[in-house]
Amino acid sequence: MSPSLPSTYTSLTLSSRPKASIIPGETFATNTTNPTPSPTSLRDGQILFQTLFLSLDPAMRGWLNDTRSYIKPVQIGEVMRGSSVGLVLASKSNKFAKGELVLTNSAGWTEYAVLDDKHCERVADTGEGKRRSAIDSLSVLGLTGLTAYFGILRIGEVKKGDFVVVSGAAGATGSVVGQIAKIKGATVVGIAGTDEKCRWLTETLGFDKALNYKDQDFAKKFREVTKPKLIDVYFDNVGGEILDLALSRAAPHARFVMCGGISQYNEAVQKGPRNYLMVVSMRIKMQGFIVFDFEKEYAAAREELAGWVKEGKLKRGETVVEGGLKEAEKALVGLYQGANTGKLLVEVAKLEDKAKL
Amino acid sequence: MSPSLPSTYTSLTLSSRPKASIIPGETFATNTTNPTPSPTSLRDGQILFQTLFLSLDPAMRGWLNDTRSYIKPVQIGEVMRGSSVGLVLASKSNKFAKGELVLTNSAGWTEYAVLDDKHCERVADTGEGKRRSAIDSLSVLGLTGLTAYFGILRIGEVKKGDFVVVSGAAGATGSVVGQIAKIKGATVVGIAGTDEKCRWLTETLGFDKALNYKDQDFAKKFREVTKPKLIDVYFDNVGGEILDLALSRAAPHARFVMCGGISQYNEAVQKGPRNYLMVVSMRIKMQGFIVFDFEKEYAAAREELAGWVKEGKLKRGETVVEGGLKEAEKALVGLYQGANTGKLLVEVAKLEDKAKL
């Protein structure tokens, strides 16, 4: 039997801006006494939302800084922002019915929320059950998959015969990037942080090669693997030393797809790529992008991604952290330490435990 | 009366690769006892060339490093490479007659050379005398002007209403870049290293504003000048702190034209832009280029540049170092210290002093 709706619920708010790494228990405040909204309090167009899965993304660290960026910083005292999937527990919306799964960027790190239906999207049924559909909507068919898709195709302009190197290759985005590059006929080398991740890349995802950047001989191996063919496309999720190595081994007119720099997000003073002048001598196009820029093309891209998943050409990987919302903070710290393989999600509530009204 | 051809001539060869700055008297060796070739020794298709002007360019420092680049390093013992203009003293070529002015990248730092005519190009007569034509062919109508042209138009994609910032703005390339951006209807701010250069930029060349980067309040002024309008196009000749400032003030989808990094060329350990992650958040296209990539379009570009010069829309500036070839080494060191305004040239021989055969 499902539990009934509790009288209070938990949310996590930003408590102080970290100067370097996130400090569990200090960066976020856990508020356990929010009064749960009553279904009868909903206004027209609103739904009562119960969070099932939170998406944890490297970009989140940037949202905690009070600096100019592509998105407003999370404010002190504000519920931590993030994509999530949840269940419609009650609805006064024409768009969504009770029991449906919806995706939103407006709930954030909370167990329950009242949402306007215009900030929600229906979760596509991928035909493998509700749980799988929920996870896919945050990963391979969500902003993660779309980021990989537009990054490697539009910014990277990957084509048959290209030599592609992906950093953070066992992460949510990188793992999809490398597979799309393979689908397009490129040779793909992935960089990851454990031998097990490297094996996953080559044995399960079909990368041509994978290198562990924690390997003592990594720089040497990197140079070997980029000889004699130099890098045509480098997809960067990481920055730091690996970006410098990639610059040193770039082919003329290489495309450097700048998606993120997870090695730098938690540094008080960030380091720039000291080999950046290779951009001049090798005529590199180093270009950043944000998936939002391609919003009008999401539907078509999702369709293509879903097709590849069905055909078995695009394999999914995810690390689901159990234990509820209270695990989110530690899980986010773990993201920056490479704890996950594939997409990192926190399971806030299990589908079978959905609240009963 | 012209002097007769001397029995020996001087050339400068690379003697040792500098680890950081060029060391006069050590980096290059001066060879004063090269036997002057006899006009009768020419083979078919060859000319005897007397150097009049050497072009000194920031990129030269890179040619001294034994690293992978867009061009082979100058070898130890090899005559220092560079563009030059000279006089045809004798000819067994069908293309060039005695007394003509030719442009070449094959002579380098030497007073005389025997050249194949396929490595030479006729200097266009700009209608203001031979000396002016010679200088223009190395500066505004030479690789310098072409670099500015293709950089700001093709890589920078400058358009009316853009807000453009140029570093190294009083240099050979920067001064042309800013003027082309003005011609195209942009607002242009130049960064230079003396107040006098800044005045030249605004009062003579028509830049909207100029800032002296050696000013104590430079960073503050830079932020003020980029408010509220952020940078659409940044043309970088300099790297270092100014590049970081420009990144911090980049507009979404800004174009960063990566032409050079003169602040870094003489550093034993180069510094990368620590704000490089603005490339991601602001979706910057940071793109390098080398003028050679546009070789097929040189003629059309030169015609447009020459037209602007004639109309008075594009003003020339140059610093001509006198005293002959022996001044080249010191002059090159001076280039990295900002000694020049506009194009830096060494006058190796005066036209009126041409050797008599």
Instruction: Name which residue leads in pLDDT, A231 or B5.
Output: A231
Smallest CA–CA distance from B280 into chain A, residue: A288
A277–B270 C-beta distance less than 8 A: yes
Q: What percent of chain A has pLDDT over 70?
A: 98
Q: Which of A286, A292, A293, A294 to mutate to test the interface with B (most CBs of B within 10 A)?
A: A286
Instruction: Name which residue leads in pLDDT, B255 or B351.
Output: B255
Q: How far is A26 from chain B (nearest CA, A)?
A: 26
Q: Is the pLDDT of residue B35 over 50?
A: yes
Nearest to B276 among A252, A272, A289 (CB): A272
A19-67 residue pLDDT tens = 999 999 999 999 999 999 999 999 999 999 999 999 999 999 999 999 9
Nearest to B274 among A68, A269, A281 (CB): A269
Q: How confident is the prediction for chain A on average, in pLDDT? A: 96
Q: Which of A253, A287, A290, A293 to mutate to test the interface with B (most CBs of B within 10 A)?
A: A287
B55-95 residue pLDDT tens = 999 999 999 999 999 999 999 999 999 999 999 999 999 99
Q: Is the pLDDT of residue A2 over 60?
A: no
Q: How far is A44 from chain B (nearest CA, A)?
A: 36
> Residue A108 — pLDDT band, cuts 50, 70, 90?
very high
Residues of A in contact with B245 (CB under 8 A): none
- The closest of B266, B259, B233, B84 to B173, measured between CA atoms, is B259
pLDDT at B357: 60
Smallest CA–CA distance from A257 into chain B, residue: B280
Letter string b/e over residues A156-169, b meaning 16 or more CB atoms within 10 A of that residue's CB: bebeeebbbbbbbb
Q: How confident is the prediction for chain B on average, in pLDDT? A: 96
Residues of B in contact with A241 (CB under 8 A): none
> Residue A203 — pLDDT band, cuts 50, 70, 90?
very high
Residues of B in contact with A273 (CB under 8 A): 272-273, 276
pLDDT at B21: 95
> Residue A351 — pLDDT band, cuts 50, 70, 90?
confident
What single letter denotes the amino acid at residue B108? G
Q: Is the pLDDT of residue B356 over 70?
A: no
Residues of A in contact with B274 (CB under 8 A): 269-272
Q: What percent of chain B has pLDDT over 90?
A: 96
DSSP string, A201-236: IIIIS--SEEEETTSTTHHHHHHHHTSSSPEEEEEE
Q: Is the pLDDT of residue B3 over 70?
A: no
Residues of A in contact with B168 (CB under 8 A): none
The ipTM, to two decimals, is 0.94
**Rounded mean pLDDT, A197-216:** 98
Residues of A in contact with B235 (CB under 8 A): none
Smallest CA–CA distance from B278 into chain A, residue: A69
**Contact status, residue A274 vs residue B269, Cβ threshold 8 Å:** yes
A250-260 residue pLDDT tens = 999 999 999 99
pLDDT at B1: 41
DSSP state of A356: B
Residues of A at the B interface, defined by Cβ within 8 angstroms: 62, 68-70, 239, 244, 248, 252, 258-261, 264, 269-290, 293
Give the span between the Cα atoms of B101 and B188, in whole angstroms: 36
Q: Is the pLDDT of residue A355 over 80?
A: no
Question: B213 is written with which tokens?
Answer: 């980067």
Q: Which of A243, A276, A290 to mutate to test the interface with B (most CBs of B within 10 A)?
A: A276
3-state secondary structure chain B: CCCECCCEEEEEEECCCCCCCCCCCCCEEEEEEEECCCHHHCCCCEEEEEEEEEEECCCHHHHCCCCCCCCCCCCCCCECCCCEEEEEEEECCCCCCCCCEEEECCCCCECEEEEEHHHEEECCCCCCCHHHHHHHHHCCCCHHHHHHHHHHHHHCCCCCCCEEEECCCCEHHHHHHHHHHHHCCCEEEEEECCHHHHHHHHHHCCCCEEEECCCCCHHHHHHHHCCCCCEEEEEECCCHHHHHHHHHCEEEEEEEEECCCCCCCCCCCCCECCCCCHHHHCCCEEEECCHHHHHHHHHHHHHHHHHHHHHCCCCCCEEEECCCHHHHHHHHHHHCCCCCCEEEEEECCCHHHCCEC
Q: Is the pLDDT of residue A311 over 80?
A: yes
A244–B277 C-beta distance less than 8 A: no
B118-147 residue pLDDT tens = 999 999 998 999 999 999 999 999 999 999
Give the span between the Cα atoms of A269 and A275, in whole angstroms: 18
pLDDT at A1: 41
A252–B70 C-beta distance less than 8 A: yes
Strands A318-321 and B231-236: unpaired
- The closest of A17, A221, A260 to A143, measured between CA atoms, is A260
pLDDT at A93: 98
A·B CB contacts under 8 A: 112
A239–B277 C-beta distance less than 8 A: yes
Q: How far is B278 from chain A (nearest CA, A)?
A: 8
pLDDT at A324: 96
Q: Which of B67, B281, B292 to mutate to test the interface with A (most CBs of A within 10 A)?
A: B281
Q: Which of A155, A236, A245, A258 to mutate to test the interface with B (most CBs of B within 10 A)?
A: A258
Q: How far is B342 from chain A (nearest CA, A)?
A: 21
**Rounded mean pLDDT, A319-348:** 97
Strands B231-236 and B209-212: unpaired
B180-220 residue pLDDT tens = 999 999 999 999 999 999 999 999 999 999 999 999 999 99
Residues of A in contact with B276 (CB under 8 A): 239, 261, 270, 272-273, 276
Q: Is the pLDDT of residue A216 over 80?
A: yes
A279–B284 C-beta distance less than 8 A: no
A54-107 residue pLDDT tens = 999 999 999 999 999 999 999 999 999 999 999 999 999 999 999 999 999 999
